[in-house]
């Protein structure tokens, strides 16, 4: 629905701009067709450069997106396995471990997303993961039989979390981003200087270029901020489902 609304808004705005530009005396189709022979080849060169830069940026952001999804999934799976392990522990240690898992999940859900997208680390969240780690290390003194497994799980959780934090903090270099947006503006503006004899073909041609360029810029912006609501983003659903399972009445112990 959001994409449909944005598409309709773009179509209306572009139509108004297109008509206004074509009403300018030296920007009408007759003048452009008569005096801009060969401009299409120059425009093609600019399009090629923009396409290469855009493809490089989108590929880099898509790789980061895949790494984030994998790290998030592994972090949740590690927490879930650690929660399941708590059913094999004595009641005091089991309750303490579940409380630490619950605290960490609540921190992630209520504070983690906002801080991560802003490029910051949450101090309460850091304290929660540290408390979880200490509870796991304490198991070696009381339940050595499960200590090695628990330590391996918390190590996996910590590594996945650090990978998620690292990938979340990555941003497109400012110069590259400025180049992409400058190229996007140039692609849209210069498309008005291409003379096409038929007005409808000119409208479709120019509109398609503008729509594609804006779509590419939107994709880059969405991928760069994976936690911010957009056309697609990483959600807290997996953490919420696990928190509901942790908050449910234990089946044993």
In this prediction, residue 37 has a pLDDT band, given cuts at 50, 70 and 90, of low
17 within a domain of the structure (yes/no): yes
Count CA within 13 A, CB hemisphere, residue 118.
8
253 within a domain of the structure (yes/no): no
- Calpha distance 253→232 (Å, rounded): 40
pLDDT per position as a tens digit, 64-115: 889 989 999 999 999 999 999 999 888 888 999 999 999 999 988 887 676 6
19 within a domain of the structure (yes/no): yes
Structural contact between residues 89 and 143, judged by C-beta atoms closer than 8 angstroms? yes
In this prediction, residue 29 has a pLDDT band, given cuts at 50, 70 and 90, of low
Query: In a 3-state reduction of DSSP, which class is residue 58?
Result: helix
pLDDT per position as a tens digit, 134-188: 989 888 877 888 888 999 999 999 999 989 888 887 888 888 888 888 988 888 8
Q: Which domain holds residue 69?
A: 2-247
Q: Please tell me the pTM assigned to this model.
A: 0.77
89 within a domain of the structure (yes/no): yes
- Calpha distance 79→160 (Å, rounded): 11
Domain count of the fold of the chain: 1
Query: In a 3-state reduction of DSSP, which class is residue 194?
Result: coil
252 within a domain of the structure (yes/no): no
16 within a domain of the structure (yes/no): yes
- Calpha distance 139→162 (Å, rounded): 23
73 within a domain of the structure (yes/no): yes
């Amino acid at each position: 629905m959001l994409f449909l609304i944005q598409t309709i808004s773009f179509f209306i705005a572009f139509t108004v701009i297109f008509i206004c530009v074509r009403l300018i005396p030296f920007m009408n189709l007759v003048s452009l067709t008569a005096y801009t022979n060969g401009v299409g080849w120059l425009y093609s060169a600019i399009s090629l450069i923009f396409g290469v830069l855009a493809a490089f940026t989108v590929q880099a952001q898509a790789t980061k997106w895949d790494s984030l999804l994998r790290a998030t999934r592994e972090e949740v799976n590690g927490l879930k396995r650690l929660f399941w392990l708590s059913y094999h522990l004595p009641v005091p240690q089991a309750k303490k471990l579940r409380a630490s898992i619950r605290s960490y999940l609540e921190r992630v859900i209520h504070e983690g997303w906002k801080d991560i997208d802003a490029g910051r680390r949450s101090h309460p969240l850091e304290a929660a993961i540290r408390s979880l780690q200490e509870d796991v290390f304490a198991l070696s003194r009381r339940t050595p039989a499960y200590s090695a497994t628990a330590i391996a799980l918390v190590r996996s959780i910590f590594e996945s979390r650090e990978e998620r934090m690292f990938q979340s903090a990555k941003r497109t270099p400012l110069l590259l981003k400025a180049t992409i947006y400058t190229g996007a503006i140039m692609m849209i503006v210069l498309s008005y200087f291409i003379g096409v004899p038929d007005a409808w073909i000119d409208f479709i041609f120019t509109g398609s270029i503008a729509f594609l360029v804006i779509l590419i810029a939107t994709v880059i912006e969405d991928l760069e901020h994976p936690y911010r609501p957009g056309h697609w983003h990483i959600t807290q659903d997996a953490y919420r489902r696990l928190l509901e399972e942790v908050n449910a009445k234990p089946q044993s112990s």
